[in-house]
Amino acid sequence: MDSLLKKHSTILKTTALILMLVIPFLLYAAAWHGSILQVKLLIAIFVVNMLFVMKNG
């Protein structure tokens, strides 16, 4: 698993960065429309992404 992460490090980090910049706008759209469930789901995805950055960033 670790070797796989190292091998694709640049692609995974780039994907994490894109997610960090895209998810907040999806959060905004969900919050604007008052969809709490979607907001919670997106925050959960954001948390997972941050966990990845904290481990491999």
Partner 1 sequence: MVDIFFVKWIFAFSPILTVLVLMIFKNWSGSRAGAAGWFVSLVTATFVFGAHPLLIAYSQAKGALLSLNVLYIIWAALLLYNVVNETGAIKAIGIGIQRFSGDKSIQILIFGWIFASFLQGVAGYGVPIAVVAPLLVGLGFSPVVAVAVPAIGHSWSVTFGSMGASFQALMSVSGLGAQYLAPWSAILLGITTFLCGICAVHVYGGWKMTKHSFLAILVIGTAMAGTQYILAISGMWTLGGFGASLVGLGSGLAVAKLKIYNQVPPSQTQSEMGLGWALSAYLILIVIVSSGVMIPPVKAFLGQIKLTLAFPEIVSFKGWITQAGEGKAINIFGHGGALLLYATIIGFLVYRSKGFYRSHALNTIVQKTIKSGVPTSLGIVSMVCFAMIMDHCQMIIILAEGISRVFGSFYPLVSPWIGLLGAFMTGSNTNSNVVFGVLQQETAQLAGLSASLILAAQTTGGALGSMIAPAKILVGCSTVGLSGKEGPVLKATLQYGLIITGSVGMITMLFSFIR
Give the footprint of partner 1 on this chain (CB under 8 A): 10, 13-14, 16-17, 20-21, 23-25, 27-28, 30-31, 36, 39-40, 42-43, 46-47, 50-51, 53-57
- When the beta carbons of 5 and 20 are compared against partner 1, the nearer one is 20
Considering the complex, what minimum distance in angstroms separates the CB of residue 3 from partner 1?
Answer: 19
* Cα–Cα dist 30/7, whole Å: 35
Q: Confirm if 44 and 23 have CB atoms less than 8 A apart.
A: no
- When the beta carbons of 1 and 47 are compared against partner 1, the nearer one is 47
Look up tokens 């796989």; give the residue.
Answer: 4
Count of beta carbons in the 10 Å neighbourhood of residue 42: 20
